[in-house]
Structure 1
Amino acid sequence: MLSMLRGEALRYAQIFLIVAPSFISFGYNQSGMGGVVDFPSWVRQFPQLDTIDTTGTQKSNNSTIQGTVVASLMLGACAGSLTCMWLGEILGRRKTIFSGACLGLIGQILECTSYSLPQLVVGRVLVGAGAGVLSATVPVWQSECSTAERRGRNVVLTGAFIALGYTLAQWSNFGLWHVEDEQASWRGSLAIGALFWMVIMASIFCLPESPYWLLRKNQSELAQQTLAALRAKDVSSPEVRLEMLMIESAIEQTAGKSLALSDVFRMGEDKFLYRFLLCIGLQFMQQMSGGTLISIYIPIIFQTDLGLPASTAKILAACAMTWKFIACALSFIIIDRLGRRAAFIISGGGMSACMIALTVSNSPSFAGEHAASIVSALFIFLYTTFLPVGFLGPIFLYPSEVAPAQLRVAMQAFAIANQWLWMFIVAMITPTALDTIGYRYYIVYAVIGGMIPPTIYFFYPETKNRSLEDIDRLFREAPSVLSVVSRSKMSITPTFMLDDMDKATTQEIE
């Protein structure tokens, strides 16, 4: 039974039974529909979304409707993320995750059984709501269960799982493309996502609740047992009791303050507003540097923009997403060695350079040239190398690190909702933008991507090797925003706050 697992075995169970299906589903559902919109069976069922066999004004109108339908998932996810501001603390992490999986499963069933556009949209919104709940809750749950030295690698795995979801979506769409005239092609593609929700629902209550949430609900004994299982230590061991004291100390420092959701918009001693802006800024940069553009519409870019045959476009799209999954290994290596800041800077600069290259290679000066299509394809693959370095998994890790304990779920929910909102905007306008302004569309992403390195350098503190309590203290004790960044660059012992508690802690343990 899963309840008997401890230490590493328990950590792997969390990763592969909850984190993996949550974020594989995230990527699969985000990318999957973009690959079936040109199937003849899909077009016959939903002629309002046909952009293949239409021209002129009709094509423009259908592009807008298609973008809205595809993007309706993001709108549902935005709403789902925001509900976690209340549900996350009331229900706890596990019940919130279960609720999100239930919503996603209901939506997936509605999607794959759709015979009308309204049913399809309702199903997609519910799938999005489930994905939003999980994307806002699972990284917080995982961070609160992880040690400081492993938190980065643990949570950044979410990026690899999202990329794996993209990969599975593109390869399944390519395989089903061979029976594209049958309704089973697109219905089967949409139905595959239901498997991930069912795994989550079957597993979540066999795994432990967050010890942070348990302590805030005055369930100290259960929290200590949970920590002991997560660390593979005895309940009364010095390590477990010391970590309990650290968490309790962090909670007590804000326990006397009456915190409301509105506090995230106030600076104060704890710099809540600054931390909040760090969270939502990161999500904005990820979306507006081209992440959703490439991930969702890559088959359309290859087929329509570069003029490649449908089969070639789908193979290249699947290969690009496969490479993106492989490239996630770079983030896994960098995030806890060079740090979060280095990962963001390298990723942002690289994505901007790729968007500049796409702008040039798709310009009228190179229209119809085979060499330009090859260059465009090359830089799309290069883009999928840079994106996961800092702006796939790490953007789920960083908000859960910089947010204070009592507002962690609220800030994470706001940040993820902001990400889904920009996903919605990008997914909705992309078909129309590619059809109207063409290569100029890439300029927007090139400019915003170029702003990432200086923004990260001046305003984003390093969180590598710091416990969540250490990070909280860093923000509280720094006299200004810029000093937070400068202090974060100093070498520290991950548990530097223990020096202040050493005598009292030792006496209590003895």
Structure 2
Amino acid sequence: MASIYLIPESPRWLAKKGAYEQARQSLSLFRDREPDSFEVTNEMAAIELALEGSAKAARKRDLFTMGPEKNFYRFVLALVLQFLQQWCGSNLISSYSTTIFQESLGLSSEMARILSGACLTWKFCSAFVAFATIDRFGRRKLFMFSGAGMSLCMMSLAITISMPGDKSAQYASVFFVFLFNFFVPIGFMGCNYLYVTEIAPSSLRMAMTSFSMTNHWTWNFVVLMVTPVALDTIGYQYYIIYAVVAGCIPPIIFLFYPETMGRSLEQMDELFEAHTSPFAIVRASLKPHANQLEQLTGEVEAKEQALQIENKA
């Protein structure tokens, strides 16, 4: 709570309040560039233009309309992503790992709790993989990699847990629980929340984020209530459900979810408005955009200048 005062205010909020100079200073801190740099000046111009275009007050019911902004398409992307986050099995393993180790695998109460604590600690450590890769490989690749890994782990758990009393199967089950907790945080313990805010239209960002979080915790409640009954009634077959849902993540992300890495919020708005179909939006998102081309051009020019200096020396 104390450290929140060290974080710069949102440049878009400052611009919305008319404090453009403060917004520029804040944006320069976030981008690690000088306030008068090309990148900051360009993005500030885009923010001001977006504010002028969204002068009309947005209504929550606009989330259910398409229009040029594709609001409903973006809203569905946010809802489906949070649904997948709950039904890929992440909450099952996090909340019921002790039950799985003790009742499904027949381990002692003490060993089950030790393994459960170690499992969640491992999950925390694995989250740093996403921290290091999210802006290197992009959101789409992390989602697909995470989904494929979770699906394989869930299918493997269904197989090993279906063999009670087999020591080798028990060891394998513990391994796949830990492996599952490696794949979860890569795409679905932070990246999913970030993605929702990146695809939401500027005028409806708070409304879309709020609805998606409500959807997230509603399915969280359902999973927590259903799981004990499901484990008692269908046992290992319950894991097949999660394996199938997680297996659907890669194709769904590949077909319908545009890449947001390296684009500002205003550039995402332009991307959705410039194309008519979801497939066209996804294809366009995978192409280098203006900022990336400018960055590459700048790097090439810097290298050329360095070579010229070396040649003169």
Common topology (TM > 0.5):
yes
Q: 1:234 to 1:494 in 2, by over 3 A?
A: closer
Q: 1:446: Cα distance to partner?
A: 1.0
Question: 1:342-491, aligned counterparts within 5 Å?
Answer: 342-363=141-162, 366-491=163-288
Q: Percent identity?
A: 47
Q: 1:470 to 1:323 in 2, by over 3 A?
A: same
1:372-401 deviation per Cα after TM superposition (whole angstroms, max 9, x unaligned) = 111111111111111112111210111111
The answer to whether the Cα contact below 8 Å between 1:470 and 1:496 also exists between their aligned partners in 2 is no
Rounded to whole Å, the distance in 1 between the matches of 2:143 and 2:42 is 33
The answer to whether the Cα contact below 8 Å between 1:306 and 1:373 also exists between their aligned partners in 2 is yes
Q: 1:219: Cα distance to partner?
A: 3.1
In structure 2, the partner of 1:253 is: 53
The answer to whether the Cα contact below 8 Å between 1:470 and 1:494 also exists between their aligned partners in 2 is no
Is 2:88 aligned against 1:294? no
Name the SS for the 2:66 alignment partner: coil
Query: In angstroms, what is the RMSD of aligned CA positions?
Result: 2.2
In structure 2, the partner of 1:272 is: 71
* Structure 1 spans left out of the alignment, 5+ residues: 1-199, 498-510
Q: 1:239 to 1:483 in 2, by over 3 A?
A: closer
Q: 1:472 to 1:495 in 2, by over 3 A?
A: farther
Q: 1:484: Cα distance to partner?
A: 0.3
Q: 1:276: Cα distance to partner?
A: 0.7
Question: 1:62-73, aligned counterparts within 5 Å?
Answer: none
Q: 1:437: Cα distance to partner?
A: 2.1
Name the SS for the 2:189 alignment partner: coil
In structure 1, the partner of 2:290 is: 493
Q: 1:360 to 1:251 in 2, by over 3 A?
A: same
Name the SS for the 1:389 alignment partner: helix
Q: 1:337: Cα distance to partner?
A: 2.3
The answer to whether the Cα contact below 8 Å between 2:105 and 2:164 also exists between their aligned partners in 1 is no
Amino acid at match of 1:317: S
In structure 2, the partner of 1:330 is: 129
1:31-56 deviation per Cα after TM superposition (whole angstroms, max 9, x unaligned) = xxxxxxxxxxxxxxxxxxxxxxxxxx
The answer to whether the Cα contact below 8 Å between 1:467 and 1:494 also exists between their aligned partners in 2 is no
Q: 1:217: Cα distance to partner?
A: 2.7
The answer to whether the Cα contact below 8 Å between 1:462 and 1:488 also exists between their aligned partners in 2 is yes
Q: Normalised by the size of structure 2, how large is the TM-score?
A: 0.87
Amino acid at match of 1:381: F
In structure 1, the partner of 2:20 is: 220
Amino acid at match of 1:316: L
Rounded to whole Å, the distance in 2 between the matches of 1:225 and 1:340 is 28
The answer to whether the Cα contact below 8 Å between 2:161 and 2:169 also exists between their aligned partners in 1 is yes
In structure 2, the partner of 1:305 is: 104
In structure 2, the partner of 1:132 is: none
Amino acid at match of 2:75: F
In structure 1, the partner of 2:311 is: none
Q: 1:254: Cα distance to partner?
A: 2.3
Match of 1:208 among 2, 5, 8: 8
* Structure 2 spans left out of the alignment, 5+ residues: 295-313
Rounded to whole Å, the distance in 1 between the matches of 2:38 and 2:146 is 41
Q: 1:332: Cα distance to partner?
A: 2.8
Q: 1:466 to 1:240 in 2, by over 3 A?
A: closer
Rounded to whole Å, the distance in 1 between the matches of 2:293 and 2:269 is 12
Q: 1:458: Cα distance to partner?
A: 0.7
Name the SS for the 1:461 alignment partner: coil
The answer to whether the Cα contact below 8 Å between 2:88 and 2:151 also exists between their aligned partners in 1 is yes
The answer to whether the Cα contact below 8 Å between 1:224 and 1:244 also exists between their aligned partners in 2 is yes
Q: Normalised by the size of structure 1, how large is the TM-score?
A: 0.55
Rounded to whole Å, the distance in 2 between the matches of 1:375 and 1:279 is 35
